Amino acid sequence: MPERIVVPFGPQHPVLPEPIHLDLVLEDETVVDVVPSIGYIHRGLEQLVQKREFTEYVYVAERICGICSFMHALCYSQGIEHIMGIEVPDRAKYLRTIWSECSRLHSHLLWLGLFADGMGFENLFMRSWQLRESVLDTLEDTTGGRVIQGTCKVGGVRRDIGQEKLDEMHRALDPFEEECRDLGDIFLNDDTVKYRLQGLSVISKDDAYALGAVGPTARASGVPVDHRETGYAAYGDLGFKPVVETAGDCYARCAVRVKEIYASIDLIRRAIDQIPEGALDVKVKGTPDGEYFSRVEQPRGEVVHYLRGNGTKHLARARIRTPTLANIPPLVKMLPGAQLADVPVVVLSIDPCISCTER
């Protein structure tokens, strides 16, 4: 029997922009067991609800994660709106959808780049990030911020997108989609990429479901969960079908995200076509009293904000369960059997967002 050795992985590691630490138990080159440890970014921001008023906490919620910041703000705002019984104007719902999908685009392009970098495909990394910049330009033009937008608030949105800008965005979508399809083609059809990813760290449909996997990690194994199906914001009007793959390997997880880019472009196009005129926000009166589990589909999967108000300006509790925390058990089950050299690729394949995870 080969000797077992323990190799520490992280917290500072060349392919991970964020710190996570794994103790990998190896037999020769093969991983047999994994013990994750987190906490390098734990800030304790759930407790800030006691110091920030419920309307101000949106800013903190946005900074749970700088990549899916808009969706954290959206999830929080929708939770408070549900507790207080606020009905948001339709135009605000559409704008929220457009910004959500822009965030998803930039997040998936960012991930594709990092994933290519993890595989050692530097060229593809640069190309993905180059495409991502045009999404960030749109976000900056419409919200004023590249990564932290600050446009979502309790009761609606803070800014409008003018018709001229909407038309411009619509026109830009076609060439952008073409470029994305060229990029996606390499991820889906290139032999080198396939060789690295196919059959790597397979997780079956039953396992993925039982372990509580969410987002693209679950959908790549054939579990069709996508919270956009519940029709929050304007998704109900736009019609939506989750992207599902069945292989459950790293290649499938990559394919889901590539196809979600196309789906997001399509959603933005339809949202711009259908956006109604109207107000941007409603006045928020009173204080939240009650509780709600607010859920939104982020690029990494379903996020849960448990919000509980006690009739004062400060919430009694905010508990945030982020998609990466739910995807850690599947990751721990995924790694055994992989080669040491493939560990970075497998870890990246769940799209870990550590600052979300640890809050």
* Residue numbers 109-138 binding another protein by CB under 8 A: 110, 113, 125-127, 129-130, 133, 136
C-alpha to C-alpha distances, 283 to 88, 158, 290, nearest whole angstrom: 10, 12, 19
Give the DSSP H/E element, type plus range, for residue 216.
helix 215-219
Q: Which residue matches tokens 């079908």?
A: 241
**Termini Cα distance of the chain:** 42
Site string for another protein, 203-232 (x = CB under 8 A): ------xxxx--------------x-xxx-
Q: Which one, 227 or 253, has the nearer CB to another protein?
A: 227
Q: How far is the CB of 302 from another protein (least distance, A)?
A: 8
Span near another protein by CB under 8 A; candidates 55-63, 170-178, 252-260, 266-274: 55-63
Q: Which one, 107 or 166, has the nearer CB to another protein?
A: 107
Residue from 1, 3, 44, 189 in contact with another protein (CB under 8 A):
44
Residue 47: how many CB atoms within 10 A of its CB? 11
236 binds another protein (CB under 8 A): yes
- Pairwise CA distance, residues 104 & 163, whole Å: 22
Region 286-305 residues binding another protein, contact defined as CB under 8 A: 292-293, 295, 302, 304
Q: Which one, 45 or 284, has the nearer CB to another protein?
A: 45
In terms of C-beta density within 10 A (0-12 exposed, 13-18 middle, 19 or more buried), how is residue 36 classed?
Answer: middle
CA-based nearest residue to 267, from 78, 88, 132, 100: 100
| Pair of tokens at residue 246 | 């069945």
Residue from 317, 336, 337, 340 in contact with another protein (CB under 8 A):
317
Q: How far is the CB of 72 from another protein (least distance, A)?
A: 10
Beta bridge partners of 30: 27, 339
DSSP secondary-structure letter at 327? H
Cis? peptide before 11, omega within 30° of 0: yes
Coil vs helix vs strand at 339: strand
Residue from 105, 157, 161, 353 in contact with another protein (CB under 8 A):
353
168 binds another protein (CB under 8 A): no
Residue from 32, 147, 173, 188 in contact with another protein (CB under 8 A):
147
Region 1-20 residues binding another protein, contact defined as CB under 8 A: 11-15, 17-19
Residue from 308, 309, 338, 346 in contact with another protein (CB under 8 A):
308
- Pairwise CA distance, residues 253 & 111, whole Å: 11
| Pair of tokens at residue 208 | 């993925």
Q: How far is the CB of 134 from another protein (least distance, A)?
A: 9
183 binds another protein (CB under 8 A): no
Residue from 25, 40, 336, 337 in contact with another protein (CB under 8 A):
40
- Pairwise CA distance, residues 278 & 113, whole Å: 38
- Pairwise CA distance, residues 18 & 6, whole Å: 21
Region 60-99 residues binding another protein, contact defined as CB under 8 A: 60, 63-67, 69
